Amino acid sequence: MIEQIGIDSKKSTYELASLGTLEKNKALLRVSSELIMREHEILAANQLDIDEAIKNGVKQTLIDRLMLNHDRILGMTEGIKQIVVLEDPLGEVINSKRRPNGLVIGQKRVPIGVIGFIYEARPNVTIDAFALCFKAGNAVILKGSSMALNSNMKLVEVIQTALKSADISPFVVQLITNTDREATIELMRMTKYVDLIIPRGGASLIKTTIENSLVPVIETGTGNNHIFVDSSADHNMAIDIIINAKVQRPSVCNACEKVLIHKDLSEEFVPKLIDALKANNVEVRGDQAVCDISSDVILATDEDWTTEYSDYIIAIKIVSNIKEAIHHINEYNTRHSEAIITSDYANSNLFMDEVDAAAVYVNASTRFTDGGEFGFGAEVGISTQKLHARGPLGLKELTTTKYIIYGNGQIRQ
Q: How many CB atoms lie within 10 A of CB 291?
A: 17
The C-alpha torsion from 136 through 140 and 143 to 149, rounded to 10°, is 90
Is 83 in contact with 28 (CB distance < 8 Å)? Answer: yes
Question: What are the chain's domains?
Answer: 2-220+380-406 (3.40.605.10), 225-368 (3.40.309.10)
The residue length of the chain stands at: 413
Return d(Cα 186, Cα 143) in angstroms, integer.
11
Phi and psi of 202, rounded to 5°? -75, 175
What is the overall mean pLDDT for the chain? 95
Return d(Cα 69, Cα 405) in angstroms, integer.
51
Return d(Cα 327, Cα 57) in angstroms, integer.
39
Q: What is the pLDDT of residue 109?
A: 96
Return d(Cα 14, Cα 268) in angstroms, integer.
64
201-250 per-position pLDDT tens digit: 888 888 899 999 999 999 887 899 999 999 999 999 999 999 999 999 99
Question: How do the pLDDT tens digits run along the chain, 413 residues long?
Answer: 899 999 999 999 999 999 999 999 999 999 999 999 999 999 999 999 999 999 999 988 789 889 999 999 999 999 999 999 999 999 999 889 999 999 999 999 999 999 999 998 889 999 999 999 999 999 999 999 999 999 999 999 999 999 999 999 999 999 999 989 899 999 999 999 999 999 988 888 888 999 999 999 998 878 999 999 999 999 999 999 999 999 999 988 999 999 999 999 999 999 999 999 999 999 999 999 999 999 999 999 999 999 999 999 999 999 999 999 999 999 999 999 999 999 999 999 999 999 999 999 999 999 999 988 888 877 888 998 887 788 999 899 999 999 999 999 999 98
What amino acid occupies position 399?
Answer: T
Q: What is the pLDDT of residue 34?
A: 97
Return d(Cα 29, Cα 27) in angstroms, integer.
5
92-149 per-position pLDDT tens digit: 998 899 999 999 999 999 999 999 999 988 899 999 999 999 999 999 999 999 999 9
Query: Among candidates 367, 338, 334, 332, which has minimal Cα distance to 355?
Result: 338
Return d(Cα 129, Cα 156) in angstroms, integer.
11
> What's the pTM value of the predicted model, to 2 decimals?
0.86
**Alpha-carbon distances of 127 from 34, 86, 122, rounded to whole Å:** 12, 16, 10
Q: What is the pLDDT of residue 367?
A: 97
Is 12 in contact with 169 (CB distance < 8 Å)? Answer: yes
Return d(Cα 137, Cα 51) in angstroms, integer.
36
Is 131 in contact with 159 (CB distance < 8 Å)? Answer: no
What amino acid occupies position 30?
Answer: R
Q: What angle do CA 373, 378, 382 make, to 5 degrees?
A: 80
Is 319 in contact with 341 (CB distance < 8 Å)? Answer: no
Q: What is the pLDDT of residue 105?
A: 97
